[in-house]
Structure 1
């Protein structure tokens, strides 16, 4: 309701004065001006009476320029999501510390989709280490109880499959971000 703020200031009234004239509380006026509340018909009618205009005048947007910052913010969010997702490919170079780069980028641009991307990398690290430990346990079990090393699972095979799955997931997420479907980011599991 930036329009309400502009009209109130143009009339030379304070929030308290508008509240007195309209019979609304000052807190209601503050909520409407900050945009955290949507006015009902009764509220619009009372504000219109207090400001001396039709209630419909209060709902008209003040300028189309208010759309531009939202569009710029959305583009900035998509760019930051793109960089955040691409930074997750650092797992190829820094296997155990790759999560630090996306976490640093997430501090700058906190978004729900960004948090899901970082959470997915944390889950991937947990799954990678769990699968490596399970492979170790399986191989030790085979060696201890069957006294031979036939049928053991290669650690490189397990790590390679996990790395490949993470790479596929990151590429899929990157395609979704580029196509504007970042809101539909799916979790790892």
Structure 2
């Protein structure tokens, strides 16, 4: 369903004004704006108050997101902490097995970010022994990028998981995904 708050604000109405105009309670408007889906009389009353057909409240451009699938794709990137490049492989499998275009795009964003992370840490891991030898230190320098990789990867996955719960979108993603 189209975001009621967006439709209400487009008509320059407050929640209270929409409640009065539709004959519904303020609490009902608040519930719908927080995600409850109106049916029957409530749907017709809101549509009439906004001068729309009930069918127009359901936006064809705003596609719904299968939140559980999106969370699974996001969490599957954690497998990269155990299996090399698992953070790319498992999200890719889940992404390309899903038919929902919104989740497919979300998965592509997750995979793109994981590819960049894996590439950066791979390069750092390859050059760290050379740097270690050049500056003559005994501390295994490869541990620094490895630990940073783990911390950054977990931060991104948990931050995106929280964002998926609250806003149904990723908060950390690349500006352009290359898949």
Task: Give the TM-score normalised by the residue count of structure 2.
Answer: 0.56
Contact 1:85 1:173 in 2 (8 A): yes
Contact 1:128 1:159 in 2 (8 A): yes
Residue number among 36, 58, 61 corresponding to 1:67 in the alignment:
58
* 1:84 maps onto 2:40 in alignment: no
Partners in 2 of 1:75 and 1:96 — Cα distance? 26
Structure 1 stretches of 4+ with a deviation exceeding 6 A read 68-71
Partners in 1 of 2:89 and 2:108 — Cα distance? 13
SS in 1 for 2:133: helix
Contact 1:116 1:185 in 2 (8 A): no
Q: Could you list the per-position Cα deviations for residues 94-150 of structure 1 after superposition, in whole angstroms to 9, with x for gaps in the alignment?
A: 1233321100111124433221111011111001101112212202323xxxxxx43
Contact 1:138 1:152 in 2 (8 A): no
Contact 1:132 1:159 in 2 (8 A): yes
* 1:113 maps onto 2:116 in alignment: no
Show structure 1 runs of 5+ residues with no match.
1-58, 143-148
Contact 1:116 1:187 in 2 (8 A): yes
Superposition CA RMSD, Å: 3.2
Partners in 2 of 1:70 and 1:177 — Cα distance? 19
What are the within-5 Å matches in structure 2 for residues 1-189 of structure 1? 61=53, 64=55, 67=58, 74-76=64-66, 78-107=67-96, 108=98, 109-110=100-101, 111-142=104-135, 149-150=136-137, 152-182=139-169, 184-187=171-174
Partners in 2 of 1:125 and 1:141 — Cα distance? 24
SS in 2 for 1:131: helix
Partners in 2 of 1:104 and 1:159 — Cα distance? 25
The structure that is helix-richer by fraction is 1
Task: Give the TM-score normalised by the residue count of structure 1.
Answer: 0.53
Report the Cα offset of residue 173 of structure 1.
0.7
**Larger-Rg structure:** 1
Partners in 2 of 1:90 and 1:173 — Cα distance? 16
Aligned length: 122
